[in-house]
Amino acid sequence: MAATRTPRDRWIEEGLLVLAEGGPDAVRVEVLAKRLGVTKGGFYGFFDDRDALLRAMLDVWERESTDEVIARVQREGGDPRSQIQRAGMLTFSSSRLLPIDLAIRTWARHDEAVAERLRAVDNRRMALLRQLIGAFCTDPEEIEARALLASCLAIGVHFLAADHEQRTRGDVAQHAVDLLFDRPPRPTAAETVARKP
């Protein structure tokens, strides 16, 4: 009986996991084969070389973090503010996409081709933000500023090391989102617990 070949998408998925853990230099055929429990020979049935794998990984990340997120946000609907928050949650609170996104941002600092891919993804995300913010804000300058602030908040909150006194990072970030999108502030986690009988 012939040996079953490891599917192409498993090589890509394992590559994305390794990228998130150790950056692009950690993505090596030998490493992936060992993690998958297979020989590296099967790799070359799907990819000409490591660069082909890296391009395929970027394709999957781009599709999942833009096409699929945008499609889900549009399919699930809701008011523009909730759609913005859903898009952010799907991307920047996802235990799968967030580490990959952050690793690609670091990678893009040293690789112009990756920087171009990241720019394309960020431009699509900004276009979605402009569209949704434009549903409740008419000033083009304010739309652009809010879209920038929302993007900076979604990405930057993962890099900031500051404490927030008596508040949790989640509570402060949520309050920032509420301010940014003109929503009444929600009670913090501590306030919610204090109100319970």
Per-residue pLDDT tens over the stretch 21-65:
999 999 999 999 999 999 888 899 899 999 999 999 999 999 999
Per-residue pLDDT tens over the stretch 109-141:
999 999 999 999 999 999 999 999 999 999 999
Q: Which residues of 167-187 are buried (b: 16+ CB within 10 A; e: fewer)?
A: eeeebbbbbebeebbeeeeee
- Structural domain boundaries, residue 12: 8-182
Give the distance, in angstroms, between the CA of residue 142 and the centroid of all CA atoms in the same chain.
Answer: 24
Structure tokens, 108: 């893009």
End-to-end CA distance of the chain: 65
Structure tokens, 63: 């599709």
76 in any annotated domain? yes
187 in any annotated domain? no
134 in any annotated domain? yes
Calculated CA dihedral for residues 180, 182, 183, 189, nearest 10 degrees? 30
pTM: 0.85
CATH number of the domain encompassing residue 116: 1.10.357.10
86 in any annotated domain? yes
Structure tokens, 66: 């833009």
178 in any annotated domain? yes
Domain count of the fold of the chain? 1
